[in-house]
A and B are shown apart, each in its own frame.
Chain A
């Protein structure tokens, strides 16, 4: 927990699933890529803790939102790839709209014009 503060990390917990799904929209990826993409796109504000990444990936797989297969990584190493399923795509849409409502609501309460975007 070098960069992310306590609060950021807790927020991450609830939204990690959603962010993983979002990351996979761009194409199949393995755990390392997923974590890296999330970190990069959040301009390194968020740090994905591996302790929650892998249980989250397994959870998503149990719910049939992602599927997995073993393949070779870009560096030609054996890695487990995750792919978004049709069901996962639907879930992502649902989660995203809920997230937007939520942030808007919070933004309103916090006095930001037109909510946060």
Chain B
């Protein structure tokens, strides 16, 4: 046999027929020569040739590879067996498709987010550098990693040589105004040092990148992302070299980034040089921790050595600026991990959950196949006795699981394509620096998964049904079939494992759900009902003095207040729950200077108008709110939060004391930074589920904040007010873009999306697993009951009561369930610790969750067992005894 022959079987068959025809002709001619009549000659020739069909068949077989024909036969056989019970087959394939699909989707995301290197030149040597605060505690979002101050960065770049190069970047935002009367638009932007794109190995798609001489304060050049280039400038290459207006100032477009470039995320629309939007003081400062640093390791240098150099330098800086927040060490992070940030843990958790579900699915199919195998026990035993090899029998049994898993797996891969798309859209935190899509590695992973599933689901039943005890099986009659203890034990242990894993999943899902509910119900410290928020940004070329800013803001407040239905209005730079925004280090003027090495206290920085606290329902604890005439030089006042007061003024009354905030000097006098505390207000959380932090409120009428957030408290559905409020803004300044028009509930909701997503998904996996386990339980028990029909009949004949039989079967089914429950609870204790840090206000062994899980599982198990048990107790003893 050769492959060539195999593939040309048909052709060689045709040739053979020709050949035999030729033989017939020759033989007939010979016979005729011997003097036979033509018909007799032909007949004799045919007799001599014999059965042509047989010759053809034997050659056909000779040309077919043996194992191949056998597999072909086995596939056909398995297919026929499966199609005899279409219900079972369809369910099994669906289970597999679901499990493989979910697992593949999650792996696609894990691979795209965590495993695949970013599409930059030699990504293995790229690393993010952070300042490292050894003293801070490592939490969910590891707070020891601190963004880098530009002063530190420029020192690192200049004075160390372990890295080939380092680049720095920072987030920014601009309002992009139209050249031809298009609507103004707030765009997310980033600033990057001139060498950033070179360091990453990114070539602009059009034009060029930044040069070193362009990376300086007040530089007005910009690079466009492909997105904004296509969307806003119609993909017209002539935009390069032309000007666009950012915050009302002309910027020259020098280049366009390629379409695949979406770092650090796809929402960044523009890049400007790092130094262009900051002052020289900012660049020298060692206290403005807002930037990210990417470094490329030298080829001949180990990461540890290079880091040691930077770390040593950083420690010197730390000693040199004892009262600035200059952290004592430097720590690296992989680029992927840096972007993945807080999705890493939920992702891992979900991968585990989906793995558990897959395992349960496989066990379930294994269980169902064991049942089917048991029914064919006798057939197998006879074939075995007739000389069938065990390997062949095992292969034949495996073929069913191969078909189920193969077809299911294929369906799963198709399913995962749309599931991945859905997940990528629903999961807001997922980094988008590289697209999330299937690739060859994912396909390979799915295939490996299918293979493993096939083995798990098929091998156990195959081994158990083809066990060597032929005699035992042949002797077994249906009457004694129920005595096959080992197989029953196997099925029960499979069930126990299934239920155990289900319990772990249920506990995890319950905890996540409770944590999510807690999170949603958590108190921000302010009113959230019927509040509309929106953001606007006053361009600083037109609003260049505090007076102009204040005039606009005051006029706006006045107009919005008069809209019917508006109860009160707050103006600030942010509202509680909307994010961290920024913090300032401060010292208390009246306190003795801090000892060297002691960390400076810091507080969140907020700006607020006099009506802010009343409108948002933040209570006044002491002192007073801002007065509306506190502006200009009279505005050097602050209000602090209760936590700040308690933490830094313990017994004292903070009102009347002064805070020195060097990072925020008086607008008119850069050297001065004393602020008098006039009031103390209640604590608010900057993010749902985060502990409140000490907060400092500055008066918004000091007039140096361009980016503002307006919060409007209304008497009815706040979204109805979005148009009237925006109309008021447009009537004051038609060119002003307004963004993020959201209700307070939406602001909070958006930060809960991810918590709700992971809770929902894990819950879905858990419910599916529960369903699978209960189907398994039901299946096993029904099967066992049918097997025991005769035994039950005898029991009845001997006088067993129906409820006794009910009990008997019920306990038989509940035993593995209880056992699994116990194992699962033990397993949960071990596993829930892993994701403890993802939980908010919920302990890993939350009694409510545990009780809930136990009750649910018992109820479902009872339901699954009740039907077969009921059937058993309703048996007609005469019929039962007659069944063979």
B-contacting residues of A (Cβ < 8 Å)? 30-33, 35-36, 49-52, 54-55, 58-59, 62, 73, 75, 77-80
CB < 8 Å neighbour of B23 from A32, A58, A75:
A32
* Top 8 A-B residue pairs of the complex, sorted by shortest distance between their CB atoms: A32-B26, A79-B22, A32-B23, A80-B19, A50-B49, A51-B55, A55-B59, A55-B58
- Looking at the assembled complex, report how far the CB atom of A76 sits from the nearest CB atom of chain B, in whole angstroms: 10
A73-B22, A78-B22 known; A54+B29 contact, CB < 8 A: no
Contact A75 B29 (CB under 8 A): yes
The complex places the Cα of A77 from the Cα of B62 at a distance, in Å, of 28
For A58, A73, A80, which residue has the most chain B Cβ atoms within 10 angstroms? A58
Contact A32 B1 (CB under 8 A): no
Tell whether A55 pairs with B1 under 8 Å between CB atoms, given A50-B23, A79-B19, A79-B26. no
Which residue from chain A places its CB closest to the CB of B25 in the assembled complex?
A77
Pair A58/B22 contact, Cβ less than 8 Å: no
Q: Does B309 contact A (CB under 8 A)?
A: no
Contact partners of B22 in chain A: CB under 8 A: 30-32, 73, 77-80
* B203 on interface, CB distance cutoff 8 Å: no
Beyond A32-B27, A59-B62, A80-B18, 19 additional contacts (C-beta under 8 Å) are A31-B19, A31-B22, A32-B23, A32-B26, A49-B50, A50-B48, A51-B58, A52-B58, A54-B16, A54-B19, A58-B5, A58-B16, A62-B1, A73-B22, A75-B26, A78-B18, A79-B19, A79-B22, A80-B22
**How would residues 15 to 36 of chain B score, 1 for a CB under 8 Å from any chain A CB and 0 otherwise?**
1101110110111011000000
B27 surroundings in chain A (CB, below 8 A):
32
Q: Which of A51, A59, A73 contacts B26 (CB 8 A)?
A: A73
**In the bound complex, CA of A108 to CA of B249 (Å):** 114
Q: Which of chain B's residues 193-240 have a Cβ closer than 8 Å to chain A?
A: none
- Docked CA distance A46–B842 (Å): 93
In the bound assembly, the distance between CA atoms of A79 and B54 in angstroms comes to 21
A58 and B63 alpha carbons, distance in the complex (Å): 9
B555-570 interface with A by 8 A CB criterion: none
For residue B2, CB closer than 8 A to chain A, the reply is: yes
Q: Taking the nearest CB of chain A, how far is it from the CB of B775, in angstroms? A: 52
Chain A nearest Cβ from B529, distance in angstroms: 85
Decide: A51 near B54, CB < 8 A? Known: A31-B22, A58-B59, A78-B22: yes
Q: Which residue in A50, A52, A59, A77 is a CB contact (below 8 Å) of B20?
A: A50
Q: Which of B29-61 contact A (CB under 8 A)?
A: 29-30, 48-51, 54-55, 58-59
- Size bin of chain B's contact surface: 20 to 34
Q: Which of B1, B30, B55 interacts with A50 by CB under 8 Å?
A: B55
Evaluate contact between B62 and A58: CB separation under 8 angstroms: yes
- The CA-CA distance from A59 to B15 in the complex, in Å, is 15
Q: Please, how many angstroms separate the alpha-carbon atoms of A54 and B26 in the complex? A: 16
- B51-79 at interface with A (beta carbon < 8 Å): 51, 54-55, 58-59, 62-63
Please name the residue on chain A nearest to B49 by beta carbon: A50
A58 CA to B15 CA, complexed, in Å: 11
CA A54 – CA B30 in complex, angstroms?
20
User: Is B726 interfacial (CB 8 A cutoff)?
Assistant: no
- Taken together as a complex, chains A and B put the C-alpha atoms of A36 and B33 apart, in Å, by 15
**23 contacts across the A-B interface (CB closer than 8 A):** A30-B22, A30-B23, A30-B26, A31-B20, A32-B22, A32-B23, A33-B26, A36-B30, A50-B49, A50-B55, A51-B50, A51-B55, A52-B58, A54-B16, A55-B55, A55-B62, A58-B12, A75-B29, A77-B22, A77-B26, A79-B19, A80-B15, A80-B18
B12 — which chain A residues lie within 8 A by C-beta?
Answer: 58
Q: Is there contact, CB below 8 Å, between B55 and A62?
A: no
CA A35 – CA B45 in complex, angstroms? 13
Complex CA–CA separation, A80 to B58 (angstroms): 19
Q: Please, which residue of chain A has its CB at the minimum distance from the CB of B19?
A: A80
Chain A residue at minimum C-beta to C-beta distance from B63: A58
Interchain CA distance A31-B2 in the complex, whole Å: 22
Complex Cα distance A51/B20, Å?
Answer: 10
Q: Are A51 and B51 in contact (CB under 8 A)?
A: yes
User: Which residues, 762 to 779 on B, are CB-close (under 8 Å) to A?
Assistant: none
Q: How far is the CB of B51 from chain A (nearest CB, A)?
A: 7
CA distance A86 to B394 in the complex (A): 46
Cα distance A29–B50 in the bound complex, in angstroms: 21
List A contacts of B63 (CB < 8 A): 58
B 112-128 to A, binary, CB cutoff 8 A, 1 in contact else 0: 00000000000000000
The interface residues of chain B lying within 8 Å CB-to-CB of A58 are 5, 12, 16, 59, 62-63
A31–B21 Cα distance when bound, in Å, is 11
Q: In chain A, what residue has the closest Cβ to B54?
A: A51
CA distance A75 to B33 in the complex (A): 12
B20 and A54 within 8 A (CB): yes
Q: How far is the CB of B50 from chain A (nearest CB, A)?
A: 5
List, in ascending order, chain A residues with CB within 8 A of B26's CB. 30, 32-33, 73, 75, 77, 79
Are A54 and B55 closer than 8 Å at their CB atoms? yes
- Chain B neighbourhood of A62, CB < 8 A: 1-2, 5
